Structure 1
Amino acid sequence: MTTHPVDEKLPVLKLATSGLQHVAAMYAGVVAPPLIVGAAIGLTGTELTFLTGACLFTAGLATFLQTLGIWKIGARLPFVNGVTFAGVAPMTAIVAATDDPSDALPVIFGAVIVAGLLGFLAAPVFCKAVRFFPPVVTGTVITLIGVSLLPVAFGWAQGPDPAAHDYGSATNLGLAGATLLIVLLLRRFTRGFVKQIAVLLGLVAGTVLAIPFGGVDFGPVAAADVVGFPAPFHFGAPRFQLAAILSMCVVMVVSMTESTADMLALGEIVERPADERTIAAGLRADTLGSALSPLFNGFMCSAFAQNIGLVAMTRIRSRYVVAAGGGFLVLMGLCPVAASLIAVVPRPVLGGAGVVLFGSVAASGIQTLVGAALEKGDNVLIVAVSLAVGIVPITAPEFYHAFPETARIVLDSGISTGCLAAVLLNLVFNHPGKEPARLPGPADAVPLAPQSIV
């Protein structure tokens, strides 16, 4: 029996370099939430480094759960898990509402544990929403994922600090453009393995180019410890407060919605469509990873959409590659000096590579829409309105400023609002439970081997 590319085990060198490429693509997204929350609490530099390492460590464990899986846990797809940015706003709100900032992390950890366990129990029910995701909906959502991520790349391209004097400078934008050009040239004029790791090589080349301009800071490498372990409950035993739990449960619903959309997108790209069983297993991995994360001082975990773009561009579909990336994340959590090596990559360089990665996700969504029979019925209307709703938080970030903070957790996520709009409009304009007419597309591909979820 022919092995499906998702289950293919690659040579060690290719496995390692491709896995490292995934880590480079998502590193900034993992470390940003602990840095923001830690700064709001007022953690010292040493404590902030510890919290960041803990989040890298738990992201690696959650990625193992998702890619390798145990029992009915894990989608067994090339799916990276990490700290969800959707939780930043409610976590900082918890910090602000806590009388003693030193108590904030135990309260956050307690809320994440409860939300994760409730999400785990809800996964078998939540996964049934897959029947509400025909190609006209999935194509719209995949496109929105890419479009929503592009502003992140543009922000990186300008620099790490909006308050800095060189933010958006010609030097920063030039480094981003040079990195983008290098990736494009490697993709155009190389073949085989070199072509597949073009993003990683582009990041290395962009970093080297940034050295003469003073854009690379090797200080974190010199200051980092060689060995470190995120000791359980380092910041104190979890505390359970109802208001904090409710806010994190809302984040969990948003996270599960986005993870469902991400799994559908990835299933299309790797030609192993995600069915209810796959989505349920993937959601169990997300939620269990979140529930276990606070044990090692980490935050809520969710799928990282930016890595879907890397899979789409490189066409390396092996889940073991992403598992190798999870191994690097665990290593970084245990070896701070290793984490600091990725941290030296300048933000503008990441921005240049991000344009390719995130744009690839949007292009995959457009490809899915091509096969969604937009000329039939009101499918064009569904796509048009859903995209417009999903783009609102991107083009007008303060559009929902008058709404309650709890509602804004959902409304400020273009992926969530666009996804909900597409699902509801599809139900209104197409018969409930009946998939609208469509043209043959990637989802029609028959998996070469059965999925290993039982």
Structure 2
Amino acid sequence: MASTTPAPARPEDERLPFAQLVVYGTQHILTMYGGLIAPPLIVGSAAGLSAQDIGLLVTAGIFISGLATLLQSLGLGPFGARLPIVQGISFASVSTMVSIASHGGVRPVFGAILVAGLVGVIASSFFAHLVKLFPPVVTGSIITVIGVSLLPVAFDWALGGVAALGYGNPSNIALAGLTLLVILVISRVFQGFVSRLSILIGMIVGTLVAVPWGKADFSAVPHGKAVSFPPIFGLGTPVFDAGAIVAMTVVIFVIMTETMADIIAIGQIVETPVDHKRVANGLRADMLSSTVAPVFGAFPASAFAQNVGLVAITGIKSRFTVAVGGGVLVLLGLVPIFGRMVAAIPAPVLGGAGIVLFGSVAASGIRTLSRVEYADNLNLVVVAVAIAMGLVPIARPHFWDKFPSGVGVVLDSGISAAAVTAVLLNLFFNRWRALVKDKPSVFAAAPDERGNTLPTDS
């Protein structure tokens, strides 16, 4: 009698054939690679580093992101959520690191990350108990803002990449549109394995078209070391500055808020339970990776929201797929020539893929919000104000410039602004029983599909 492989107890524990793991894992890495290398490029330039030193930052960031992804997806004791979560160098820390690096170079940045990361490791267990403060009305608002806040990145890529020569050229937009079209056609025409590779195929087709168009340059690929291990403190030993440490600690808590939201989001997409213990394990891995990062010359790591969108699009829920992707990142960090090949993917191609990926994150949030009960409560107000606060940094990037730096660090991130607002309003309207009313306000009414207002006592 033929043996059958029993179905895994949890969707994320599914084991796919190795070839599929490699292909799907590589797709995850291609999806996030542009966002991964951007922070070290930006911070290295602000610190006045040479091109060679910036290259070390990039390589170290890739290497640490791979190790962090392996730890998060496979887990090691109390570290790792064991979910299909890709870790990468966090965008949330860029503005603070630029501010520190522009005055004292990267060494104070590394010192601040070391101390702040340790604080994050210690705080992870307590922070995870806040998971009960994230019901669907909160998580749906945050996930929606995560997707919407990422879309401007995709649009900038589609225009050619910020500060790139020819930024805004219609040919860049055409290339992004072609990539998007290929992804949509494959998603519609094909099913199963091919359909799930729509993002990867779209990026390959877009890059191949870009070569004769003169928008993909692979000339730098053969130059440089073929194999290189990230040196320990290769850019100098850490410098511990009190002001930088305080600022970075605030950033670490922002990163923890974003990572917790991503863990909850991926749990909903995968349809697997996520309790405070699992969140704590995920945050602990996140913070451990961030603490170790400066040793190799890298910056804080966090969950990448665009890869949450990729899981939603492909339906591949296996954490082992992401683990293989983490292994690919480690190899890219050790073999820079592979990294240089991937880095040659044109920004407009990334932009076309990013529109689908980031938009799908927002759509996942909207789907979560559709399950929220709006009758006889003020959940509509919670959603409205949280999303509005999350959009402030996108619509008006300088809105918080005149406020103290601590306020700006938190509220200049649309994700953390939406998270703080949604949590506080949910507590105020739904958990503080002294203020809960049977007839809360006219905002509790919701229009039906015909546009008629439903009575609040229905």
> Paired residue for 2:57, among 33, 51, 63?
51
1:75 aligned residue: 81
Match runs of 1:168-207 below 5 Å: 168-207=168-207
Residue identity opposite 2:47 in structure 1:
I
* Aligned equivalents of 1:308, 1:163: Cα separation in 2: 28
1:368 aligned residue: 368
* Identity fraction in percent: 50
1:241 aligned residue: 241
The 3-state SS of whatever aligns with 1:227 is coil
The 3-state SS of whatever aligns with 1:274 is coil
Residue identity opposite 1:129 in structure 2:
L
Which shows bigger deviation, 57-66 or 82-91? 82-91
Residue identity opposite 1:159 in structure 2:
G
* Aligned equivalents of 2:122, 2:55: Cα separation in 1: 33
For 1:51-95, what per-residue CA distance to the aligned partner results, in whole angstroms no more than 9, with x for missing partners? Answer: 100110001111111001111110000001111111111111112
> Paired residue for 1:27, among 14, 30, 33?
33
* Aligned equivalents of 1:284, 1:223: Cα separation in 2: 38
* Aligned equivalents of 2:363, 2:171: Cα separation in 1: 29
* Aligned equivalents of 2:61, 2:94: Cα separation in 1: 13
1:357 aligned residue: 357
Root-mean-square deviation (CA), in Å? 1.5
> Paired residue for 2:101, among 70, 95, 99?
95
2:339 aligned residue: 339
Shift of 1:373: 1.3
Shift of 1:432: 4.5
Residue identity opposite 1:312 in structure 2:
A
The number of aligned residues is 429
Q: 1:66 to 1:433 in 2, by over 3 A?
A: farther
Residue identity opposite 2:308 in structure 1:
I
Find out whether 1:62 has 2:31 as its counterpart. no
Name structure 1 gaps, 5 residues minimum. Answer: 99-103, 437-454
Query: TM-score normalized by structure 1?
Result: 0.92
For 1:215-269, what per-residue CA distance to the aligned partner results, in whole angstroms no more than 9, with x for missing partners? Answer: 0011231223211110111112222111111111011010001111111111100
> Paired residue for 2:17, among 7, 11, 35?
11
Find out whether 1:254 has 2:260 as its counterpart. no
Residue identity opposite 1:421 in structure 2:
T
1:117 aligned residue: 118
Contact 2:53 2:235 in 1 (8 A): no
1:348 aligned residue: 348
Name structure 2 gaps, 5 residues minimum. Answer: 1-5, 437-458
Residue identity opposite 1:260 in structure 2:
M
* Aligned equivalents of 1:369, 1:394: Cα separation in 2: 21
Q: 1:433 to 1:261 in 2, by over 3 A?
A: farther
* Aligned equivalents of 1:433, 1:323: Cα separation in 2: 44
* Aligned equivalents of 1:62, 1:302: Cα separation in 2: 9
Contact 1:63 1:326 in 2 (8 A): yes
* Aligned equivalents of 1:338, 1:96: Cα separation in 2: 30
1:443 aligned residue: none
Query: TM-score normalized by structure 2?
Result: 0.91
* Aligned equivalents of 2:185, 2:320: Cα separation in 1: 27
Shift of 1:181: 0.4
Match runs of 1:371-450 below 5 Å: 371-432=371-432
Contact 2:156 2:162 in 1 (8 A): no
Which shows bigger deviation, 168-177 or 40-49? 40-49
Contact 1:264 1:273 in 2 (8 A): no
The 3-state SS of whatever aligns with 1:186 is helix
* Aligned equivalents of 1:308, 1:61: Cα separation in 2: 18
Q: 1:67 to 1:46 in 2, by over 3 A?
A: same
Q: 1:419 to 1:433 in 2, by over 3 A?
A: farther
* Aligned equivalents of 2:433, 2:48: Cα separation in 1: 50
